[in-house]
Amino acid sequence: MKRYLAWLLLCGLLALHSALAGEYPEKPVTLVVMLPAGGPTDAAARVLADALSSALGQPFVVENRPGADGVIGVRAVLDAPADGYTLLFGIGSLVAVPMLQTPAPFDLQRDFTPVAAIGSYPFGLFVHPSVPANSVAELIAYAKSREEPLFYASSTPGETLATAEFMQATGVRMSRVPYKGFAQALPDLLAGRVQLAFGPVSAALAHVQDGKLRLLATLTPTRLPALPTVPTLEEAGVRGASVPSWQAIFAPAQTPAPIVERLSRAVAAALQTDAVRTRLGRLLLQIEMTPPAALTERISREHSRWQHFIEETGTGRP
């Protein structure tokens, strides 16, 4: 009798698993983006939303909820039912936010289930043409020669981390001007109201090509194929500065596993299509599908790195 009851229970669970995965989604899904419209993260989210809408037969609607280092968007997702109909499109610096605010507004590892990462954006060091520097070495020398610090734009903890590591490695002093997103920082950078910024290459490349900004280096392991003449920051003599710039979908922690699995499979399939790869390629996104388990491990590693950096430097809320 016990074996029979166990068998019935197993059959019931398998049937529930199949039903949940098979029926989802039955209505539109909201994909909350923690940054403003118009930036690279928003653009990648919209590409993915279009692909998931086609693949799963229901609209995936992007909703931008920027502010408070992404906490407004995070809370919007956590306050919704954990049923797969409200998802978060997050970025790598999301790992650091709970360590930079008191009390911690959320716990990424406890409160969310990773669905998939789709890749990462290469970042670069941009300067306004009024800065008399055509190389990283010249920028460092100029910054050290000034009595007043240069102003840099920053919109995420990741950008702040990269700048802090740059300052730590080079000994230069700079003052932060915060923004909600890199798209909002660009007008001030183009006008010279801030002198430099670490940001996604794709967001400002057109302005570099027009001569309105200079791209001195990329924060990538090797030179970008699209920009073979631009050195990496390490080639330019600065080691240790980097940006965790992955882009990923998360679901609230209590979301049924069959729904998370179906979403993860749909994302993986979308990233194999020529249409999606072409659109993301135009954004210079470096495509790399990371499934839930691998993304969980990556977040754990990066949590340790952030914690070490914050403790070592005394960095507080950016």
Please give the angle made by the CA atoms of 106, 92 and 177, to the nearest 5 degrees.
90
Q: Phi and psi of 58, rounded to 5°? A: -135, 150
What is the per-residue pLDDT across 34-55, written as a single tens digit (0 to 9) for each?
999 998 999 999 999 999 999 9
Q: What is the pLDDT of residue 7?
A: 47
State the fold for domain 26-120+245-313.
D-Maltodextrin-Binding Protein; domain 2 (3.40.190)
Q: Residue 180: helix, strand or coil by DSSP?
A: coil
Per-domain residue ranges of the chain: 26-120+245-313, 123-218
pLDDT tens for each residue of the chain, 318 residues long: 445 444 444 444 443 444 455 699 999 999 999 999 998 999 999 999 999 999 999 999 999 999 888 999 999 999 999 999 999 999 998 998 999 888 999 999 999 999 999 999 999 999 999 999 999 999 999 999 999 999 999 988 888 888 988 998 999 999 999 998 898 999 999 999 999 999 999 999 999 999 999 999 999 999 999 999 999 999 999 987 777 789 999 999 999 999 999 999 999 999 999 999 999 999 999 999 999 999 999 999 989 888 887 887 666 544
Q: Which CATH architecture has domain 123-218?
A: 3-Layer(aba) Sandwich (3.40)
Q: What is the pLDDT of residue 306?
A: 85
Is the bond preceding 292 in cis, omega lying within 30 degrees of 0? no
H-run or E-run covering 17: helix 2-23
- Domain 26-120+245-313 and domain 123-218, same fold? Reply is yes
Smallest Cα–Cα separation from 238: which of 166, 173, 172?
166
Tell me the residue ranges of DSSP E strands in 192-273.
196-200, 214-218, 246-252
pTM value?
Answer: 0.85
What is the per-residue pLDDT across 56-107, written as a single tens digit (0 to 9) for each?
999 999 999 998 889 999 999 999 999 999 999 999 989 989 998 889 999 9
Q: Do 74 and 94 form a contact (C-beta atoms < 8 A)?
A: yes
d(CA 90, CA 225): 26
Q: Do 195 and 150 form a contact (C-beta atoms < 8 A)?
A: yes
Token readout for 221 is 């392991």
